[in-house]
Amino acid sequence: MINLHCNSNASSSLAYVGSRVSVNFKPVNFRTLTSDRRSGCVNLKCQVASGSDSRSVSNSSSLSAFELLKTSAAERYTKEKSGLMVIGLSFHTAPVEIREKLSIPEADLPKAITELCALNHIEEAAVLSTCNRMEIYAVALSQHRGVKEITEWMSKVSGVPISEIRQHQFLLYEREATKHLFEVSSGLDSLILGEGQILSQVKHVVKVGQGVPGFDRKISGLFKHAITVGKRVRTETQISSGSVSVSSAAVELAQMKLPEHSLASVNVLVVGAGKMGNLVIKHLISKGCKKITVVNRTEEKVSKICEEYKNVDIIYRPLSDLTSYASDSDVVFTCTASETLLFTKSQVRGFPFSQRLFIDISVPRNVESCVSDVEGTRVYNVDDLKEVVEANKRERFRKVVEARSIILEEVKEFESWKDSLETVSTIKKLRAYGERIRASEMEKCIEKMGGELTKKNQKAIHDLSKGIVNKILHGPMQHLRCDENEGRDLDDILENMEALNRVFGLEMEVSVLEEKIRSKMGKIQG
C-alpha cells in the first residue's frame, strides 16, 4: 500500500497498469522520505522545501523514492488485501423475495463453484444456499476486486440488479468470516436457535464440493472444521435440547403430563395430516411412540407419512370416524385448518370415562375450551405451549455464551492452521535449496575420490551430508512455524519468511501471487 501526502499546490499523477507503475511529478523537492518495509506499506511524504533544504537532497534520494514506488506495486496489488471472505444475504438482511431469486439449486452447485473460480481474482470458492441464506465463501487474490466480481456474478445468474444485492448483502473478511461460518454450523445464526438442519446443509457443501476444481485446501479445510465445531457445540452445550417449535413443544408437554411420562404405552390420535400434523408425528416417533392413529380428510397424505416411517404403526382413519377413535384415545392432538370446533363439551361428556389429554395446536381452536370441565379431561392450547417454548428459548440463550467461547477457541485453531499454509511454499523451497547444494557437493566429493568408494562408504557420505543439511535448516524451519509457547505470532513468522526468502534468494510469495493473477488473466483472454 502506498500513501502519498503532498503539502503543496504542485500537481502529480500516478498511473498503474498491470505490474508497471508510472509516476509523473511536476517539479517538487523532497524533504522527508519514510518507509516501513515490515508492514508492506511505503509512505512518501512530499513537502515544498526551502532553498537550503532542496539543495541538501541528492538525486539518488529521488531515484530511491521512485524505485520504492515501482517495487511496491506488485505487493500493493496482491498482498495487502488478499484472503478469505464471505459475501452473502440471509433472513437477517434480505426478504424471502430476494433470497429465493439468488438461491442456487443443488444440482448447479458444482457449476457455480467452477464459474466463481473462473473470475479473475477468485482462487477458491464454496456456496451455502438454503431457504434462509445464500452465502459465498471465497479465497480472493484481491478482496475488493473479488467482492466486485462475485457481486456481478450473483446479479448475472439471478437477474437481481447489483444495486439491490448491495442493499441487502453483508461482507466479512478473514477471522470474522471464519467465525461466522462456525456460528452458522453451530445453529447460533439460525431462525430457530440451535436447530440441527443447518449442520447437515454445511456437510452437504463438502460432499458436493469434493473433486470440484476451486473447492481446494483453504475452503475445504474451513468447511470441514465448521462441521467439527457444529458437532462439538451441540455435544458440549446441548443447545439443541428443549422444544422451541409449537409441534415439538406439544409432544413434550404431552409426555410431561402422562403418569409414566411415556408415549410408548398410550393410545395416541393425531387429527390432521398437514405440515403441522406431520411434524407432530415426527416428534412423537422421536419420543418413542410406536403406534399412532391419524384422522384426515384424505388418505394420500397419511400414506406418504407411512412410507417415511415404515418401522412405526401409523393407521389412517377417515374424518367420519373421528368421534369413535377419539373416545378410545388417551392423548388427542388436533392440528387442522378447520374453522369449526371438532370437539365440544357435550360431545366429550359422552366419551367413556378416562384420563384424557387434548392438545390443540390449531388456530382457530379445534377443541372447545370448556371441554376441560369434563371429569378426567385436560385441554391445552397454543398459548399454553408458548410458555414451554419461551422457557426453552431462554435456556438456549444461556447456552449461547458457552457456545461462543467454544467457537472463539476453534476460530483461533483454524486461523493458526491457515496461517501456517502461508509458509509452506517457503519451507519447500528452502528444503529444495539445501538439497540441491547437498547433492551437488556430494557428487563432486565422490568424483574426487574416484572409484575407491564402496557402496557402504557412499551411503555413509550420503547420510552425513543429509544430516548436516537437516541440522543447518532445523533452526530456520522452526522459525517458520507458529508456536505461541516460544512467543512467535503470524507477524513474526511472515517477517522470518521474508528474511529467509531474501537471504537464500528464494522466490518471494508476492511474486507467486502476481503470477497467479497473470495466469488467470491469460486464461480469460485466451
CA dist., res. 33 & res. 270, Å (int): 81
User: Is a pLDDT exceeding 50 seen at residue 359?
Assistant: yes
Burial of residue 323 (number of CB atoms within 10 Å: 0-12, 13-18, 19+): middle
Which pLDDT band holds residue 520 (cuts at 50, 70, 90)? Answer: low
Q: Percentage of residues in the chain with pLDDT exceeding 90?
A: 45
Locate all alpha helices (DSSP H) within 364-504, ordered by sequence.
Answer: 382-421, 424-448, 455-478, 490-504
- Amino acid found at 270: V
With 0.75 as the threshold, say if the pTM is over it. Answer: no
For residues 36 and 75, the answer to whether their CB atoms sit within 8 Å is no
Q: Please say if the pLDDT value at position 446 is more than 50.
A: yes
pLDDT at 397 over 50: yes
User: Picking from 52-61, 153-162, 183-192, 236-245, which range would have the lowest pLDDT averaged per residue?
Assistant: 52-61
Which of 114-118, 449-453, 462-466 is predicted with the least confidence, judged by mean pLDDT? 449-453
Q: What is the pLDDT of residues 111-165, one digit of tens each?
A: 999 999 999 899 999 999 988 899 999 999 888 899 999 999 999 999 999 999 9
Helix/strand/coil for 457: helix
| Distance of alpha carbon 308 from alpha carbon 468, whole angstroms | 67
Q: What share of the chain is helix, strand, coil (3-state, %, to 5)?
A: 55, 15, 30
Query: What single-letter amino acid sits at 438?
Result: R
pLDDT of 1: 41
Across 79-88, 250-259, 338-347, 353-362, least confident range: 79-88
The Cα-based distances of 258 to 74, 208, 252, 255, 515 in angstroms read 72, 45, 10, 5, 70
If phi over 0 gives left and psi between -120 and 50 gives alpha, with beta otherwise, what is residue 40? Answer: left
Lowest mean per-residue pLDDT among 48-52, 104-108, 442-446: 48-52
Tell me: pLDDT of 504 over 80.
no
Question: All 3 cell numbers of residue 458?
Answer: 557412499
Closest alpha carbon to 495 in 436, 443, 426: 426
Does residue 42 carry a pLDDT above 70? no
Please identify every residue annotated as catalytic. Answer: 131
Q: CB under 8 Å to 458, separation ≥6 — which residues?
A: 446
- Predicted pLDDT of residue 239: 86
| Range scoring the smallest mean pLDDT among 174-188, 297-311, 376-390, 404-418 | 376-390
| pLDDT at 43 exceeding the cut of 60 | no
Question: Of 170-179, 192-201, 444-453, which one has max mean pLDDT?
Answer: 170-179
- C-alpha cell recorded at residue 91: 433472513
Which spans in 245-357 are helix H? 246-257, 275-286, 300-308, 322-327, 345-349
Is the pLDDT at 214 greater than 90, yes or no?
yes
**Which pLDDT score is estimated for 429?**
78
**Separation in Å, CA 441 to CA 210, 431, 437:** 44, 15, 6
